[in-house]
Structure formats: C-alpha cells, structure tokens
Structure 1
Amino acid sequence: MRKRRSLTALRAFEAVARNRSFTLAAEELIVTRPAVSKQIKLLENELSCTLIDRSSNNIQLTPIGIELYVGLQQAFDLISATMERVSNQARVSQGIKILVERDFASSWLATQIGQFLLQYPGISVEITAEKNGHFRMQEDFDFRIFYGPQGTYQNDSLQEKKLCHWIDLPLCSPEYARTHITSQGFSENTHFLLDKNYNPWDDWFKYTEYENPGITDFGTVFNETTLCLSAAIAGGGITIGDSFLALSAIQAADLVMPYRYGLKSVETYSIYHQKDVKHSTEEDIFENWLFSTISIYQNKVDQYLLKNGITIIDRS
C-alpha cells in the first residue's frame, strides 16, 4: 500500500531547492518563511534524514536532498502535463451544441456529421432538432441553424451568416408519375402534398407554363417537408422538395422530377452565433467544416440538376 506523504511539505522543499532560498520559496508559495522552514523540518523528521545542509549561509542540498529534488521535479512536471492534458480534454468534451431546424437536421446534417466526427475525433457534437424559428434563447447553444429570408432573425444578440440556398423541385414516386403526371400538366385526380410552413407551389406555377389547378383547396397538409417527401416516396402524391433534403432520394430513384423546372429559393439556410462571444477553437473548426461541406454539396446538387435537364429559375 502506497504510503502517504505531505504534499505541502514536498512542495515547500521543492520550492526551496529550486530557488536556493527560503525567502523566495515563501514568496512563491504565499506563506511565511518560518512556515516553509517548519514544513521542511517535518519532512526531514518523516524521512529520518537531512535534506538541506544548514552549516553555511547558502542553501546546499545533501546528496539525499538532491535525489529527492530531482524526483520531485519529474513528478511535478508530470502532474503539470497531466493536468493540462485533462483540462484540454475537458474543454473538448464539452463539445459543440447546435440547435437545428428539424428537416435540415434529419435529412442533411445527420447524414454529413459522421464525416466531421471521423475527421475530428476529439470534438463531440450535440445536435438538437427544433421547429424553424424556435431559437430557445434561454438555452446555451453555440450555433443555431434555421431557414428564412436573410435578416429575418438577426437581432442585437445574434449574428447571421448565410449557409446556402436550395432548389424547389416538384417530386413524386416513379409509379405515381406514370399514372398521374403528364407532360402537359396535372391530371384531375393529382394529389398534392403540402408543407404548411413552406409552400412555394404558387411561385412554381407563376414561373412555369403550367396552369395552377388551385392546389391549396385540396391535398394533404403536413408540418414538415420531410413528411411530405416520405408521403411522396410512398406514392401518396406529388410535393415540392428542397434539393438539399431530397437529392439522396432522387439519386436512389425513390423520387423523380416529372417536370423540367426548379426554382432557386428566395429564402436561405443561415447559421447564427451569439454576438460579442468569441468562437472557441472547436467552434471555428466546425464552422469552417460546415461551410466547406455545404459548398461542395450545393455544387453537387446544381451539377446533378443541370446534367438531368432541369432548368433552374432564379426568382430573386
């Protein structure tokens, strides 16, 4: 069993040995000179040996004192390095907390975050999904990601940065397209899947040659785009999908683009950070990764749509 030693006495001896002075050691430890002398005397009594030669005015260590001093230096250096490492790990382990709009969180960010964690294994990320625009300002998040017209949510507390736009695309299952969609337009029994939070159908009809059948008067209404996409994949009708959220389903042929027009969104995904709060190193790393990944992905989306004959209409 390891025998306990007085850390106070060991620190006092190490300080005296390093400074070669009781006075300087006392100043460093913020105690009195007699207190330092008392601690070293207690240590010598405990070890049953003399550590400091007191026969001269100058501080001289005995051979045993030199051996103990060298060992203590190594031990204190190890303690210091260990505490620094643990402190760094503790800071990293706190990780990054992000509040993200539900559709973007589940259909895009969740599919990409694994790359970040593999690239930066020492940084943890906590993602909380929320309805668009619900900022939960009473809670502590490093970043918030929502969509809307630029500047909508920026205020005295939040700094906004645009992440990306997207392309609005009419989408349905291959089977539904064969039975309900024609090149001339929509059949009378076409069923529309509508997102009550974001419904760009009127704009889509406005910027294309197709007649608006008044879809807001009938159809199924959901409160999230991903629910509309899921219903469309199941053959429940046609919806407008966000190219960021729907690309994987299009590439997998679960959804098709029956019409050759897509609209560039007037709204954007944006990232928000508290003003006057300096980014941590981990936050800088994450933000740089996010912007880079989104830029690559957005180029991939645009190239895929152009390759497949989709005309992208800029309605801004």
Structure 2
Amino acid sequence: MQDGVPSRPAPASTRRLPPLVALSYFEAAARTRSFAAAARELHVTPAAISHQIKALEALLGVELFVRHHRRVSLTSAARLALPALQEGFAALADAVEQLRAHSEARNLITVCAEPMFATKWLVPRLHRFYARCPEAEVRLQASLSSVDSMRGGPAGLAEFRRAGIDLAVRFGYGSYPELEAQRLLEVSLLPVWAPEPGAEPRVEPEALLGQALLSDGTAWRSADRFGWPQWFEHAGVAVPAPLREQRFGNGLLALEAALTGQGVLLASPLLIQAELQGGKLAVACEVAMPCPFAYFAVCPPLALERPIVQSFRAWLFEEAVPCGGGGAATA
C-alpha cells in the first residue's frame, strides 16, 4: 500500500507464468486422472504429456502428480490449484470468443428503412451488394420509425445506439444533429392505378376527383402534408370539401390496394418501377408533385468508420445514380 492506496496485483502479462501449453497439459491430465487420456484428448503422445508436466513441476518446484503403476493421482497442491486453473482457462475461452465475435462483426451491418423503400427499392438490389461483398451480412429492419415526424428529429445518436443501427435510409427533411447524413434520392409523386384492359390509362387531373383515392399514411406523419389535397392543389384543381380518401398505415398496404384495382394511389415511380414496367400499374396522370421529403443515408459518425458501413453506403449511392438520386451532404 502506498499513500493509503491499496496495491493491486501485477497484470498476468508482467508476472512470470509457466508456458500455457504446459498448463493446458496439466489441466487435461488432472481432469482425466490419466496421461494417456489427456494425450488422446489433445492429440499428442503420452510421452509429450509426461515431458511437459515434468518440466512444469521443475519450474514450479512442486510435485503435481503421484505416479502409480499405470495410473496417476493428484497431489494436494495440484488439487488446490486445479479449480482456479480451470476457471482461468474458461475465462480465456470466453475472451477468445469475444474476440472472434468482434472479428465476425466486421462484416455485419444493421440497416433500417421505411417499409416501402426497404421492400421495393432496397431488397431487389441487395444481391448486387452481396456480389461485391460476399462476406457481408446485412440485417435489414423495415420500420416507420425511419420516417421523420418533425424537423431535426426524433432521429438522434441515442436512438441509433439503442436500436443497434449502423445505417438508416431515412425519409424526411435531412436535418439530423450528431449524425452523418447525405441526400440519397429525391422524391416526386404521381397518381397510379391498375389499368383496365382496352381503356386509356391517362386522364386529366379533374377526372381523378371521381375515383377512389388511396392514401399512404406515411404522408401524414409530419405537419408538411404531401397527400391528395396537396396534389390536386399542385395540379390546379379545386377540391371539394371534404375529400374522401381511403387511408392505409404504410405504403405497402396502399400499394396492394392499388394493384388489386381498388383505386388510384400517389406513389413514387422510383419505388414501383417493377409494377410500372410489368404493366401491373400505369400512370393515371402525368402531373408529378415534388415531395417535401427525400431519402437520406444517415449514419452515426463512429459507425461510418467501419469498412463494411463505408462499403454499403458507397454502394447505395452508386445504385441511386441511375435513378437520378444523390446529392450534397446536408448534415
């Protein structure tokens, strides 16, 4: 003890310890009470076990085994030391597993996005990221928590840490304090519906007032609305009050209603390319409304230091380029 402060034992690395291999041979022989059994377990010869234990006894200055004819037994010193030694080997095994898990986590990335984007844009492209990084493991979460409900929040560093998210594709304003954010995709909204055979798919904006209007509840999560009333205003159409809409909790539900012919939906062409190209949906009117929200790639600063996060983020922007996305950093 110095200056009233209790002294602590010196770290194991600074104390003179016997070779780990000798200790492991002793543990196996003591546990099995047999040099031969220990040799089989460790895939060495009984002579090697005997040699290491003799060397260990000489180094420690104490006998560990009493040799009998065709068997051995532990001395009192060995019996006392064995439990602590086994605990030490267990702790070493746990530490090695933690190191191994950390090594495996180098290629693991947890990504969160709103359900429509995750399902219709991200998942169909993931095979191209795996082709580039075959060792990667992407854990994808689809959640409406990735949609902004207000400017500057509620997304923050604490929320990312709590959810264990490395990268989020947020649908919102782009102002995320404490986080690294960059605009990924601009969004505009077009009316789409399931085409009827032989019918002209495109109509004038006024004609949509008489249609069943399907609404994605995502457009109502923020005070800045971007639903049917705003679209009709953008198209220069006076809207009778009240405007009747069938609202769905997320874009995927609203999309399914449109695909089954239940009405006309405001949707981003970027997210329904497969349905448009396959003829399952058609543009009902060419008037496109710019959306006040955009998609942003958002990361905690420390997560962005990981190579796997850097690779995934770079791949996202490469995929967005053919769609007309990308942009300057906004946070």
TM-score using structure 1 length: 0.62
Contact 1:180 1:187 in 2 (8 A): no
Aligned-partner Cα distance in 1 for 2:235–2:209: 19
Tell me, yes or no, if structure 1 residue 260 matches structure 2 residue 286.
yes
SS of residue in 1 equivalent to 2:255: helix
Alignment of 1:136-147 (within 5 A): 136-137=159-160, 138-147=162-171
Partner of residue 159, structure 1: 180
Aligned-partner Cα distance in 1 for 2:283–2:244: 22
Seen in structure 2, the aligned counterparts of structure 1 residues 32 and 298 have a Cα distance that, compared at 3 Å, is same
Which of 276, 279, 286 in structure 2 is aligned with 1:250?
276
Contact 2:259 2:281 in 1 (8 A): yes
SS of residue in 2 equivalent to 1:126: strand
Partner of residue 93, structure 2: none
Q: Which amino acid is 1:206 matched to?
A: E
The runs of 5 or more residues in structure 2 that have no matched partner are: 1-12, 27-46, 53-96, 149-153, 220-225, 326-331
Moved more, 178-187 or 193-202: 178-187
Aligned-partner Cα distance in 1 for 2:239–2:285: 16
Q: Which amino acid is 2:186 matched to?
A: H
Give 1:160 deviation, angstroms.
1.8
Give 1:254 deviation, angstroms.
0.7
Give 1:276 deviation, angstroms.
4.9
Partner of residue 230, structure 1: 256
Contact 1:192 1:215 in 2 (8 A): no
Contact 1:168 1:200 in 2 (8 A): no
Which of 86, 92, 103 in structure 1 is aligned with 2:106?
92
SS of residue in 1 equivalent to 2:324: helix
Partner of residue 189, structure 2: 168
Q: Which amino acid is 2:192 matched to?
A: L
Tell me, yes or no, if structure 1 residue 107 matches structure 2 residue 120.
yes
TM-score using structure 2 length: 0.59
Q: Which amino acid is 1:92 matched to?
A: R
Aligned-partner Cα distance in 1 for 2:307–2:209: 57
Aligned-partner Cα distance in 1 for 2:205–2:315: 44
Aligned-partner Cα distance in 2 for 1:164–1:274: 20
Moved more, 211-220 or 265-274: 211-220
Which of 141, 153, 157 in structure 2 is aligned with 1:128?
141
Seen in structure 2, the aligned counterparts of structure 1 residues 179 and 45 have a Cα distance that, compared at 3 Å, is closer
SS of residue in 2 equivalent to 1:174: coil
Seen in structure 2, the aligned counterparts of structure 1 residues 147 and 114 have a Cα distance that, compared at 3 Å, is same
Give 1:196 deviation, angstroms.
2.7
Give 1:47 deviation, angstroms.
5.1
Partner of residue 69, structure 2: none
Partner of residue 228, structure 2: 201
SS of residue in 1 equivalent to 2:262: coil
Q: Which amino acid is 1:208 matched to?
A: A
SS of residue in 2 equivalent to 1:217: coil
* 1:257-276 deviation line (CA, Å, top 9, x unaligned): 12122123232101211135
The runs of 5 or more residues in structure 1 that have no matched partner are: 1-28, 49-82, 300-316
Give 1:98 deviation, angstroms.
1.0
Seen in structure 2, the aligned counterparts of structure 1 residues 44 and 260 have a Cα distance that, compared at 3 Å, is closer
Seen in structure 2, the aligned counterparts of structure 1 residues 220 and 200 have a Cα distance that, compared at 3 Å, is closer
SS of residue in 1 equivalent to 2:323: helix
Tell me, yes or no, if structure 1 residue 273 matches structure 2 residue 299.
yes
SS of residue in 2 equivalent to 1:288: helix
Number of residue pairs matched? 231
Aligned-partner Cα distance in 2 for 1:32–1:246: 68
* 1:99-120 deviation line (CA, Å, top 9, x unaligned): 2111111111111111111221
